[in-house]
Amino acid sequence: MRVKAVIAYDGSAFYGFQKQSHTTQTVATAIELALENLKIQSKITGSGRTDRGVHASNQVIHFDLPSFWSDLQKLKTELNRNLKAVKIKNIAKVDDKFHARYDAKTRLYRYYFSTTKTSVFMRNYLAYFDPFDSEKLTKALFLFKGKHDFNNFSKNGSEPNSTIRSIYASNHKYHHGVHCITFEADGFLRSQVRMMVSAAMKCAQGKLELWQLEEQLDNKHLHSVTLAPPEGLYLSHIFY
């Protein structure tokens, strides 16, 4: 039986979502070890990968269950008992052909940051940026909307079949001292969100001009290659 699980995790506890050869401290490995403890020999597939230090509030995974695990509520309880820094929010039976990654229509990321120094208790969950011009930030974010070749906004090594992505939402909001940048797209390249946040914030702080951002989007010139700090980024929702 194939099941779909919605999970949340504290990215500061892991070296990323995907399994890695040099460490067992990844989200995927943690979940698979928890499954093994329950006599479930199944690999998990995620809707996407997150970098080291990046969080998720609603990541989606799928895996296959043996016939003796029919009580999904009990499975959820037992998995949460075996997991640290990961929470299984929901588990539901799905069609055997369901695929967490390939069936996803859009993905939504949120980036949270403050312009005041965060406390020691929040430094892993909220990024910091120097003061900026919110109007310039809005203009910079607007440039990302639409269909573009994001080759200049992806980290080397991902080697996707295509670097063309469509961004449907790209905005900035402020509430009670916390800024939030939101991106929703049909997909994202490796580190793309963090590169876009970094470039947009440079425009907002006068370190990069809007025409330079447009040049980079048009793959005419590379002006910014830095990544925004990972602690502010959250994989917030997967739409199917």
- Is 235 in contact with 187 (CB distance < 8 Å)? no
Measured distance CA(225)–CA(133) in Å, rounded? 21
Q: What is the four-CA torsion angle of 189, 85, 6, 150, rounded to 10 degrees?
A: -10
* DSSP state, residue 219: T
Residues 6+ apart with CB under 8 A from 51: 11, 16, 190, 191, 194, 230, 233
**Ramachandran sector of residue 116 (left: φ over 0; alpha: ψ -120 to 50; beta: rest):** beta
- The question of whether 103 is a catalytic residue gets the answer no
Which residues make Cβ contacts (< 8 Å) with residue 198, sequence separation at least 6?
A: 224, 226, 227, 228
Q: Contact, 63 vs 2, CB < 8 A?
A: yes
Judge whether 158 and 143 are in contact, CB under 8 Å. no
Residues in the chain: 240
Which one from 10, 51, 95, 133 is the annotated catalytic residue? Answer: 51
**What amino acid occupies position 169?**
A
Three-state secondary-structure class, residue 73: helix
Residues assigned a catalytic role: 51
